[in-house]
Structure 1
């Protein structure tokens, strides 16, 4: 029971970080680069759909596809994060914390990547656009990083089409920052883990 509570708290922390990045920094400036939350925002701008409902719909669809097309272990890993993310995204109010577009772009993108990394570290995800690349790799033998690139290109295209070319360029920049930041966090974490293992080995 305690183990499940700790896991829930960890997933909640990761989802909260992602939601804060979106609602406090990225989306108030129309920087729609970050996964399913960005898609929800773009569709809300274009069709006046409620973005939370869009995120719910996409995540539920991705959960269904994961259950049907992928393994049940992956389904169990993304289940909780996929359900909690739309709740936190709608619960945390959208509020422009900084007037600076550039600062919001950098901080929001970095914070978003921290939340994604944190979830990955505990074998979870907030669902959404992380699933199609895995399906594409399994059934069409296209590497997942290329599938993720295709997903990002779709998001950039939606920015160009729904918002403006400038917004599309900034969305591209945000995606690059997110990609670099996740790699940086992963590298730092691996070094810390290796350092800890080395210390324990020396003690033994």
Structure 2
């Protein structure tokens, strides 16, 4: 468990530095915004004397404080670490224009941003911002997460057009699109797994999952056909890259738990709420 946590922290650190390089070397020099709340941070960093890293941390801070109470502990703690590291990277790494061509900068900036965020996602964290906003909203109301994120990113693109130029808005769209494609290629977050867990310690397993993973869990009573002993049957849906950490959580609560893992074709309804 400690070894996996160390690998996750290292992966998030590397991903955060890559995001900082993408912003300061490719996007910011051409007034190109990224997706999410960091795009708004870039915008304010360009039109005010404040550093983008400082603004990114300030914008995320209230969301992170709310997330500590509302979302899974491991997810939000990893997210806090990622947000702080991205903000530090933006503050420390100097702004330097690598290419004078904005289209190339949009593409390479988008690729590097997707690579960095993909690594953060694979480590079971997030880059904060709109991800937290969307998760908090879907926890209260049954909104589709993807549609919420797309709508909020649309606001970023529109703001880029009104505040800078519509060329900048188009470059921003290109960067956001490229970032999404690279994140999908690295993280494959769309691959969902269904876990069926048979355990004699149902409450302990349930509490461990709910405390650390932002996913719903369904519990059903069961009886062993051979032993006749009562068992709890838990069912939950997770992303593929949460599997190792979730298995550790289950075995921490019950080393003898039986776990069946199947790939899920489709999830209908809220994926994040229980």
Output the CA distance in 1 between the equivalents of 2:136 and 2:6: 30
Output the CA distance in 2 between the equivalents of 1:2 and 1:177: 32
Q: CA RMSD in A?
A: 2.1
Output the CA distance in 2 between the equivalents of 1:104 and 1:129: 23
Alignment of 1:86-125 (within 5 A): 86-125=87-126
Output the CA distance in 1 between the equivalents of 2:127 and 2:168: 24
Match of 1:155 in 2: 156
Output the CA distance in 2 between the equivalents of 1:73 and 1:6: 14
Output the CA distance in 1 between the equivalents of 2:167 and 2:187: 30
The structure with more radius of gyration: 2
Unmatched segments (≥5 aa) in structure 1: 194-204
Runs of 4+ in structure 1 over 6 Å off? none
Flag the structure with higher helix content: 1
Higher relative contact order (CA closer than 8 Å, sequence separation 6+): 1
Match of 1:136 in 2: 137
Q: Deviations over 1:75-102 (max 9, x none)?
A: 2231211221111111111101112222
Taking structure 2 as the reference length, the TM-score comes to 0.63
- Say if 1:180 and 1:5 are closer, same or farther in 2 by CA, change over 3 A: closer
- Say if 1:181 and 1:3 are closer, same or farther in 2 by CA, change over 3 A: closer
Unmatched segments (≥5 aa) in structure 2: 192-239, 241-274
Output the CA distance in 1 between the equivalents of 2:150 and 2:22: 21
Tell which deviates more after alignment, 141-150 or 30-39: 30-39
- Say if 1:185 and 1:4 are closer, same or farther in 2 by CA, change over 3 A: closer
Match of 1:36 in 2: 37
3-state SS, counterpart of residue 10 of structure 2? helix
3-state SS, counterpart of residue 126 of structure 2? coil
Count of aligned residue pairs for this structure pair: 189
